[in-house]
Amino acid sequence: MSSTYPTIHTVGLSGVLVTFAEALDDTANRAALAFRAEVDAQGWDWVHESATSLISAFFRTDLAQHPAAEITAQLNDLLATRDWFAAPLPEGRKLWHIPAVFGGDLAPQLDEAAEAAGLSPKDAIAELTRTRMRVITIGFAPGQPYLGTLGEHWNIPRLGTLSPNIPRGALVAAVRQLCLFSNDTPTGWRHVGQTAFHTFRPTSDTPFPLSPGDELLFHATTPEDYKTIAANNDDGTGGATWEALS
């Protein structure tokens, strides 16, 4: 645990950010998740909403109504109560099984991603379907998970030139992470797999199926099976199932 972290910063007049590390780090991610859960459990009236990013917890408030100094003091007191870096993962986590097509026309950048990782396409698919990937944060777009963490050889850079339009449900890889796209989007991440899993289901009772701490296991499927799933996907589940983890 670094002596300078955690830090507390105001964010505009919209809230405060508690940051647990300088760079992406698994213990800092767990600390942020645990600290956010504990602040939510306190039920403080100044907290209008909360969120975690990769290594921070954000608490939204109106700093014109709730003085930053008082909030900071309260957060510091709570930070001092335990070693947040040793916190366990949140409760109520799920293990998701999600069918995905790897390579071919539906995920055309698998081969170059494998090469960048020093693997054959077959070995790359084996690793991507064997590794339980954890949701380290949800963000950027609605329900969109960032998944960690692949082995060091997957520390492949983003592409210098953006691919103009990668579809919703795409599984993309860069910097030891995978991301599962909520919407069609341009990106520098490599398109290695394609799912029919919708991470944002606006008309559902559970519009955001994934939560930080959930784990995802991808199961290789054929293009034919994928097309059948995608054609019968009104609820957006994309053939995925889940089981309780904790």
Partner 1 sequence: MTTALKVHQIGPATAFQDLGRPGYIASGLTRGGAIDTLAVHEGAALLKQSPDCAVLEIASVGGVFEATGPLRIALTGADMTARIDDANAAWNAAHQMETGQRLTIGAARSGSYAYLHVGGGFDAPVRMGARGGHLSAGLGRLIAKGDTLPVMPDKGTRTGFYLSRDARFDGGTVRIVPSVQTNHFPPEERARFEATAFKRDPRANRQGIRMEHDGTGFAAQGMRTIVSEVIVQGDIQITGDGTPFVLMCESQTTGGYPRIGTVIPADLPRMAQTPAGGKITFQFITLDEAVAIEQKDAKARAGLAATAQPLVRDIHAISNLLSYQLVSGAISAKADPFD
Smallest gap, in angstroms, from Cβ of residue 63 to partner 1?
6
Cα dihedral 152, 155, 156, 157, rounded to 10, equals -160
Choice between 126 and 230, CB closer to partner 1: 230
Tokens of 230: 């995608």
Smallest gap, in angstroms, from Cβ of residue 212 to partner 1?
8
Choice between 137 and 194, CB closer to partner 1: 137
**From start to end of the chain, where are the E strands?**
7-11, 15-19, 49-52, 56-60, 94-102, 133-138, 145-148, 163-166, 170-174, 177-180, 185-187, 190-194, 215-220, 241-244
Smallest gap, in angstroms, from Cβ of residue 52 to partner 1?
7
Task: Calculate the alpha carbon distances from 117 to 126, 128, 145, 173, 175 in Å.
Answer: 13, 12, 22, 10, 10
The rounded distance, in Å, linking the Cα atoms of 85 and 94 is 22
Residues forming contacts to partner 1 in the complex (CB under 8 A) are 9-15, 17, 19, 22-24, 48-56, 58, 60, 62-65, 67-68, 137-144, 182-183, 200, 202-203, 207-208
Choice between 103 and 209, CB closer to partner 1: 209
Choice between 92 and 118, CB closer to partner 1: 92
Choice between 62 and 115, CB closer to partner 1: 62
Smallest gap, in angstroms, from Cβ of residue 104 to partner 1?
27
Smallest gap, in angstroms, from Cβ of residue 215 to partner 1?
18
